[in-house]
Amino acid sequence: MSGAGPLVPPAGLTIAIPTYRRPGAVARALRAVLAEAPDADGPVEILVIDNDPHGSAREAVAEAAAPSAGAGSAPGAAVRYVVEPAPGVSAVRNRALDETADRALLIFIDDDEEPEAGWLRRLLSTRRDTGAAAVAGLVVPDYEAEPDPWLRAGGFFDRQSWPTGTRRPVAATNNLLLDLGAVRAAGVRFDEAFGATGGEDAMFTRSLVAAGGVIVWCDEARVRDRVPAARLTRAWVLRRRRSHAATAVRVELALAGPGVHPGIRARALAGGCARVLAGLGRMALGGLGAGPGRGLVHRARGARLAARGAGMAAAAVGRGAHREYGRP
């Protein structure tokens, strides 16, 4: 690291925490982010955006931000709470862009995550030293209960990482720093068509790169993602794998612009069917026995591959979208 220049530009930094009906979780996230605020060399604003029209997180946020809460007394950190009544993750993330029209930097972190020590300084240092339009960091699962061996063997919660400074073509928004000057110059916002299904972050960051922005990876800027026991089931992980694969195809179609795009659909359908067949074949191999432990790996990873293929094929014919963030 060069050490030149301020970590936080004079126009300032906002850390946004979107939330929806998880007051206990967002309070934990807020306290953890407040503990990181002293690592910045300038004032930090923490913006909690509640997507519940009834403002169910207001009291929990106020308590977590109070000086008596310990971390809330961090110097230079101000906490602001707003309600975004329009449903969906895109509306919440666009509200963050609107609320930071006069700021230089914006960081997104989810309400079920807590940063590890040094997270903020590492994100800021990487951005300063690279001049990147965005910096993405690693999300590490933190299980509420021990996953069963099948889930472990399938690697369903494993996240890929790269050496710090690696350029990336796309990034998630659950641990992402944005240079708002670059975002405004690119004219990008979060697409409301992905508000209920997710995928708005892939659409946004790919559009940012297409406009000339650079995304780099910071492997040391890590957050821990709380994985509740309710998600540690085969049904949940396979449904999410199908949904994410379908959403990726929908992003490709949206980036291609208006039209049917038969070529993209044909490739997705063929690729999806091939993955389903390969996945089923691997599951069958696991059932035949492939040495100690290998059978379980084949069965779990085969099911994962088949689920991905099913999502791709469904999206190719206009189906497969799961409203993960839809209102009940």
Q: What is the pLDDT of residue 286?
A: 79
Q: What is the pLDDT of residue 285?
A: 85
Q: What is the pLDDT of residue 290?
A: 54
β-pairing verdict for 175-179 and 134-143? antiparallel
Contact 112, 225 (CB under 8 A): yes
Residue 116: exposure state from Cβ atoms within 10 A (0-12, 13-18, ≥19): middle
Q: What is the pLDDT of residue 71?
A: 46
pLDDT digit string, tens, across residues 51-109: 999 999 999 999 999 874 444 445 558 999 999 999 999 999 999 999 999 999 999 99
Contact 48, 17 (CB under 8 A): yes
- Other CB atoms within 10 A of residue 247 CB: 23
- Using DSSP, state whether 300 is helix, strand or coil: helix
Q: What is the pLDDT of residue 326?
A: 61
Can you list the residues of the chain whose pLDDT is less than 50?
A: 1-2, 68-73
How many residues are listed for the chain in this entry? 328
Contact 278, 212 (CB under 8 A): no
Chain-centroid distance of CA 279 in Å reads: 26
- DSSP class of residue 147 equals P
Helix axes 294-316, 234-255, angle to 10 degrees: 40
- Using DSSP, state whether 143 is helix, strand or coil: strand
What's the chain's Rg over C-alpha atoms? 21
Q: What is the pLDDT of residue 291?
A: 57
192 vs 25: CA distance, rounded Å: 25
309 vs 200: CA distance, rounded Å: 21
Look up the pTM and report it: 0.92
94 vs 12: CA distance, rounded Å: 19
Pure H helices in 15-118: 23-36, 58-65, 89-99
Q: What is the pLDDT of residue 116?
A: 97
Q: What is the pLDDT of residue 77?
A: 85
175: nearest Cα among 240, 126, 241, 221: 221
136 vs 117: CA distance, rounded Å: 16
Chain-centroid distance of CA 63 in Å reads: 26
Chain-centroid distance of CA 128 in Å reads: 22
Q: Which two tokens stand for residue 197?
A: 């299904």
